[in-house]
Amino acid sequence: MLEINKIAFIGSGNVATHMAQAFFKAGIHIIGFYGRNQQSTQELALKYHAEWGAISDIKYTVLDLLIISVPDHAIEEVLKELTTCPILITHTSGSLSMEVLQIKGDRFGVCYPLQTFSKEKEVDFSKIPMMLEATREKDLEALMNLAKKISPKVYKLNSPQRKKIHIAAVFAANFSNYLYHIAEDLLLKNDIPFEVIQPLIEETSAKIKSLSPYEAQTGPAHRNDQETIDAHIKDLEDIPEYQEIYKLLSQRIKESRK
Amino acid sequence: MLEINKIAFIGSGNVATHMAQAFFKAGIHIIGFYGRNQQSTQELALKYHAEWGAISDIKYTVLDLLIISVPDHAIEEVLKELTTCPILITHTSGSLSMEVLQIKGDRFGVCYPLQTFSKEKEVDFSKIPMMLEATREKDLEALMNLAKKISPKVYKLNSPQRKKIHIAAVFAANFSNYLYHIAEDLLLKNDIPFEVIQPLIEETSAKIKSLSPYEAQTGPAHRNDQETIDAHIKDLEDIPEYQEIYKLLSQRIKESRK
């Protein structure tokens, strides 16, 4: 059976940083970090006893897997610099189809960790779902076995499904975080510390482990409490950009009541 | 010093249910549950060895505090039924000013637990911030001491501040939960279990304990990745109500980048 033991990364951003750490801890041999950002590739390489350099320095013969972990818009440039790739190559993007890698060989796939990464904050990979895809069945099995070394939550998904997950993730994570930002802003403007609302945020996210979000919905719009909704809208008059969001989401929640 | 040992509730909804449980566990004597819903007031009363009945049955002389915990729109009706109240009386609303209670006596206040309650789910009151207000300093101190028996997070706030907190809570909790609902809907429509996204939701809410929401912001809009944004908007063409939310929140996140 095909086994993946030696890997390398193109890229040194948040995803590469956290993934490399998890693979390293799991005993996977990280051969190198390649890309244009010399400082961060070097930093990662020194941390994991790997080499670093430009994309042209990659030695395919010693690798089982090459992981391209760069922003979506940069992947085209990276692929131009790659020679035809004789080994398994994957990207880590939620949005890009697997086929963008097709031009560089016939063994390609995706290894998408569904999580929000910040350089400053440690993550526990054992809680991160890994979304895998590959052209060849044997490569997919090998990726599954590799991913299982860092997470018990491993899923085979095709590109359209992955794209839907990415959109769902934007709603559930990126947009939710922006709503936290609005809440913080409203509190700080009224001399109230943000911490007062943190337990509520924690409970709201914990609730949906035992109830569906539909069952867990509360609040003035869900109760169709128009008096409170109107009072809040009036209160937000000075901040029309928040007022607009309040109106739209309240309207949608009211409509979604069964 | 004024001490509150004997309390009663008007109302038997989520807030009264969870608050009564916490006070009971803390050794506070719950005298009774009053209101129109005979079944649920009786259920609570039997659980906490209290009496139940109509509002006209309340015996003020044996009470230190009467907590009115009913929906905002119902409070006016409740107040009509109450005789002039010779003891301390509080409501538990995030939105209503303290002064709505004024007509019933001169000792009144607010005891607002900032949390989302569902009947089916236990809550840990020790993590719930209690927002307190009262007309008399001595009553406020007594409420503080009472609240501290169930939560270490006790805040003195005036009515305008409490209203702002309530609006912030709608954004951070009610609206976030609705975004989880959208995410779930998108996933289920594509045969993907909701559980794949739960770790992401958990991490997103945990992140803001160590980073501000502004620092924690990620995603296509934050990266100004217009290609991905456009692809997502196109993908949501069949669900215009989600597409509209996607557009508005992405636009706001882009504008909020410094």
Residues A129 and A144 occupy one common structural domain: yes
DSSP state of A66: E
Q: Are the Cβ atoms of B204 and A241 closer than 8 angstroms? A: no
Q: Which residue in the set A161, A174, A245 is minimally distant from B222, CB to CB?
A: A174
Q: Which residues contact B99 (CB under 8 A, 6 or more apart)?
A: B159
Shortest CA distance from B244: residue in chain A: A248
Residues A112 and A10 occupy one common structural domain: yes
- Cα–Cα distance for residue pair A79/A90, rounded to 1 Å: 12
How close are the terminal C-alpha atoms of chain B, in Å? 52
Which of B157, B185, B217 is the last residue in one of the domains?
B157
Q: Count of domains in chain A? A: 2
What pLDDT is recorded for position A172?
Answer: 97
Q: Which residue in the set A118, A172, A194 is minimally distant from B183, CB to CB?
A: A172
Q: Are the Cβ atoms of A114 and B199 closer than 8 angstroms? A: yes
> From the CA of A12, how many Å to the nearest CA of chain B?
16
Segment 109-138 of chain A within 8 Å of chain B by CB: 114-118, 120-121, 123, 127-129, 131
Q: Are the Cβ atoms of A175 and B232 closer than 8 angstroms? A: no
Chain B contact probe: residue of A177, A198, A214, A257 with most B CBs at under 10 A: A177
Q: Does residue A75 fall inside a structural domain?
A: yes
Residues B18 and B81 occupy one common structural domain: yes
Residues B181 and B122 occupy one common structural domain: no
- Cα–Cα distance for residue pair A208/B208, rounded to 1 Å: 18
Residues A89 and A186 occupy one common structural domain: no
Q: Which residues contact B182 (CB under 8 A, 6 or more apart)?
A: A168, A171, A172, B242, B245
Partner residues linked to B111 by β-bridges: B132
Residues B195 and B137 occupy one common structural domain: no
What pLDDT is recorded for position A83?
Answer: 81
What is the pTM assigned to this prediction?
0.85
Shortest CA distance from B202: residue in chain A: A205
- Of the candidates A186, A132, A122, the one whose C-alpha atom is nearest the C-alpha of residue A156 is A132
Full pLDDT tens readout for chain B, 258 residues: 789 999 999 999 989 999 999 999 999 999 999 999 999 999 999 999 999 999 999 999 999 999 999 988 899 999 999 988 889 999 999 888 999 999 888 899 999 999 877 767 778 888 899 999 999 999 999 999 999 999 999 999 998 999 999 999 999 999 999 999 999 999 999 999 999 999 999 999 999 999 999 999 999 999 899 989 999 999 999 999 999 999 999 999 999 987
Q: Does residue A1 fall inside a structural domain?
A: no
Structural contact between residues B140 and B109, judged by C-beta atoms closer than 8 angstroms: yes
Which of A157, A174, A207 is the last residue in one of the domains?
A157
Q: Does residue B214 fall inside a structural domain?
A: yes
CATH number for the domain that contains residue B101: 3.40.50.720
B236 shares contact with chain A (CB less than 8 Å): yes
Residues B136 and B210 occupy one common structural domain: no
Q: Is the dihedral of CA B232, B233, B238, B241 positive or negative?
A: positive
B-chain CB neighbours of A191 within 8 Å are 161
- Of the candidates B81, B126, B190, B174, the one whose C-alpha atom is nearest the C-alpha of residue A131 is B190
A-chain CB neighbours of B131 within 8 Å are 196
Residues B141 and B202 occupy one common structural domain: no
CATH number for the domain that contains residue B247: 1.10.1040.20
Shortest CA distance from A95: residue in chain B: B228
A151 shares contact with chain B (CB less than 8 Å): no
Which of A111, A126, A157 is the last residue in one of the domains?
A157
B-chain CB neighbours of A168 within 8 Å are 182-184, 186-187, 192, 197
Q: Does residue B52 fall inside a structural domain?
A: yes
Residues A186 and A119 occupy one common structural domain: no
Q: Is B94 helix (H, G, I), strand (E, B) or coil?
A: coil
Residues A123 and A220 occupy one common structural domain: no
Q: Does residue A127 fall inside a structural domain?
A: yes
Helices (H), chain B: 14-25, 38-47, 75-81, 137-148, 159-169, 176-188, 198-207, 213-216, 226-235, 240-256
Q: Does residue A44 fall inside a structural domain?
A: yes
B155 shares contact with chain A (CB less than 8 Å): yes
Q: Are the Cβ atoms of B255 and A235 closer than 8 angstroms? A: no
Q: Does residue A151 fall inside a structural domain?
A: yes
What pLDDT is recorded for position B41?
Answer: 96
Q: Does residue A196 fall inside a structural domain?
A: yes
Full pLDDT tens readout for chain A, 258 residues: 789 999 999 999 989 999 999 999 999 999 999 999 999 999 999 999 999 999 999 999 999 999 999 988 899 999 999 988 889 999 999 888 999 999 888 899 999 999 877 767 778 888 899 999 999 999 999 999 999 999 999 999 998 999 999 999 999 999 999 999 999 999 999 999 999 999 999 999 999 999 999 999 999 999 899 989 999 999 999 999 999 999 999 999 999 987
Residues A99 and A18 occupy one common structural domain: yes
pLDDT in tens, A55-112: 999 999 999 999 999 988 899 999 999 988 889 999 999 888 999 999 888 899 999 9
Task: Report ipTM for this prediction.
Answer: 0.85
Residues B83 and B110 occupy one common structural domain: yes
Range of the domain at B230: 163-256
